[in-house]
Amino acid sequence: MGKLEAAQATPADVYEEMFVPALFQQWGNVVAQAASVGPGQRVLDVACGTGVLACAAADRVGVTGAVVGLDPNPEMLAVARRKSARIEWRGGRAESLPFADQSFDAVVSQFGLMFFEDRPAALRQMMRVLRPRGRLAVAVCDCLDHSPGYAAVAALLQRLFGNRVADAFRAPFVLGDAPRLHSLCTEAGIVDAKVTRHEGTVRFASIASLISTERACVWTLGGLLDDTQFERLLNESEQALRPFRTADGAVAFSMPALIVTATKT
């Protein structure tokens, strides 16, 4: 795991050292731009994790603006606080945002909505705290079929270990469907939502790095595989992911996102 010893790393450490550079860092500015974040604005990042999107928003609002990052996970917030003292880091859930009505010019969230317990309630809360003409931008993973490397891993998990493990791995991709996102927005009372597809890329230093990181991820495979199963997965992944190996031994493939945007009337 590079700088971190696996035995000592928290899930937040794994996320920050491995997942952020491999796939999440690229999305901060994309989502902030989708929300039209600009100088002087007050911005809320819901399910901020270790602060990738919040930091991108802070760069855009400048010294005259303000950014709040909210997450229910104390370990994630501990990592985020090491990144920026300019941002206000708060504990809390998307379904019950601890802010007054019309508190923010923009509300953003990346790759969290699929894990919320009550997705329409979370979207309603985000709209509640927006000021009139404020912008919402929420990113989710596109469907698994549009991410060929991860689709190959899911198929391998299905073959080796069956539905329980494969479905856990598929969880981040469950909202990768524009009609379903529109339906969620309608349920939340958002009438003018737009869903757009944006290209992105996953890149890990090696196939072993990708598989080891996924095994350590508490949101997907964490705790589901014993050491023998992991070794089997690691060995068979070399063949399954071979089409995605680059000349330098890394592994890279497409992972697009769908971004929901709306303006509060």
pLDDT tens sequence across 194-221: 999 999 999 999 999 999 999 888 788 8
Q: Where are the domains of the chain?
A: 11-263
Residue among 20, 62, 24, 16 nearest 43 (CA):
62
Find the DSSP H helices in 108-226: 119-128, 148-161, 163-170, 178-187, 207-216
pTM of the model as a whole: 0.94
H-run or E-run covering 196: strand 194-198
pLDDT of residue 1: 40
Mean pLDDT of 35-45: 98
Residue among 83, 84, 111, 112 nearest 97 (CA):
112
pLDDT at 122 over 50: yes
pLDDT at 176 over 50: yes
pLDDT classification of 6: cutoffs 50, 70, 90: very low
Mean pLDDT of 213-235: 90
**Could you give the C-alpha distances from 35 to 53, 81, 153, in angstroms and in order?**
11, 23, 33
Contact 81, 89 (CB under 8 A): yes
φ and ψ of 147, to 5 deg: -125, 85
Query: Chain-wide mean pLDDT for the chain?
Result: 95
Instruction: Tell me the fold of 11-263.
Output: Rossmann fold (3.40.50)
